Each structure stands twice: as C-alpha cells, then as structure tokens.
Amino acid sequence: MNALKKNVFALFFLLPFTPKAQNAIEPYIGYSIDLANRQPLSQVNIGLQYPAVKHKVYQMLLRVQGGLPLNKHSGNDAAYTSDLSLPLSIATGYAAKWHSAAFIIGNRFRLISWADKNTISPFVNAGIVYQKIAVGYNSYDKEKYTVLDPHRSLKKFGLCIGAGIQYKRDLGNGAIFLQAEFLSSPVVDSLNNYNYKLPVPLSINIGYVVEFKKRSK
C-alpha cells in the first residue's frame, strides 16, 4: 500500500515536468485556521513559490512554507500530590500553540483570463509537511505534584495533499496574487494523542510575483 501511494504521488505530480524554467519567484504571506480541532488554532504563513516549469496554461511550482502561531488554546488542569503536608490538588494552566513547515510541489492551471491582466487558476498540491502543537504548562512544583491527565504535545511529519484557487493581476512589472487553499494533515499511522488532532489548515495568502530579466549575452 505504501509503495502504491508513492507511485501515484510521483506519477501525478512529476509527469508534467519539463526542463523549462521561469525567471520569477513568488513570495507571500497569509493566514491559516485549523479546521480539525474543536477549538481551532491559527497561524501566520510565510512562504516562497518558484515556477520551475511554465507553459501557457500550466505551471509546476516548488514551494517552501513555514507557519508561526497567532493564537493559543489555553485552559487549566488539576495536579495532585500524595504529600499530606500540602494541599491535595492545585490548578495549573496550560497553553497550546501551532507550528508548521512544508515543502510542496504544486500544479497550477490557467482557467480564466481577461483584459490581458487578470487570471484565475486552480491548483493541486502534494508534498511533505511537519505539524506541531506544542503544549506548555505554567510553573508548578513537578517534584511534588503530578498532572494525572495532562495535555500532551503533538508533532508529526508526513505526506500531504491539497487544492486551491488563485487570482492574479499583472502589473506590467511583476504581479500581485491572492490565493485560497486547503491542505490535508500529514498521513501518519497513528497519533498517540487523545487531546488534539493533526491540524487541517484553510489558508488565505497574498503575494507578489518578482520577475527577473534575462541577461543579454
């Protein structure tokens, strides 16, 4: 089954490759919200896309992206002690924050264009992603008190797929774009965590196409 996944992944996303490069990069910044957990987390995206292959209606993109937490999920847990000289239990606060990093191969297809300046292009993605929900507790005496049912950090690394749509406006010298996309959580065998699910991000990104002029020989 794992071999089949790898073969399908390679066939679908690498067959369109031809050695025709585009002299441009596409930096972007955006916002992601997690759709998987009951109390959603959010983060700011910072990324860079490179059109490694460009045809009139198709582009293959290489992308690197990182995500930093914008909010946190906080609450309180009870910690207990067997020391009779101390209170039986105390409350200790915790906070969970979402981090991520990814390398993604994208396939973008021109669907609609008008006025020689505006383009709408759907795209499909696949790649590898690292997702982490980091849980930290407020300071308490861990030698004397124990949280019996703690919130635990979750971190996983694996394959992912996604899809989205982009609007781009040509400015003559470069272009601006806005894209919305969905990305799956990494494919893993098990979570070993009953507090959190792996995040499923829905993202809105805005960026700029930086074009480089070819040097004359």
Which range has the worst mean pLDDT, 11-15, 125-129, 132-136, 149-153? 11-15
pLDDT of 217 > 60? The answer is no
pLDDT value at 56 more than 50: yes
Query: Across residues 66-86, what is the average pLDDT?
Result: 93
The domain total for the chain is: 1
Strand partners, 49: 26, 63
Asked whether residue 84 is domain-assigned, the answer is: yes
Is 7 part of any domain?
Answer: yes
pLDDT surpasses 80 at 87? yes
CA atoms of 200 and 162, how far apart (whole Å): 10
Identify whether 217 is part of a domain.
Answer: no
Q: What is the mean pLDDT of residues 199-213?
A: 92
Share the mean pLDDT of the chain. 87
Structural domain includes residue 216: no
Distance between CA atoms of residues 85 and 143, nearest Å: 14
Q: Read off the CATH number of the domain in which 141 is found.
A: 2.40.160.20
Instruction: Between 139 and 63, name the one with better pLDDT.
Output: 63
Examine residue 177 and state whether it is found in any structural domain, yes or no: yes
Domain that holds residue 54: 2-211
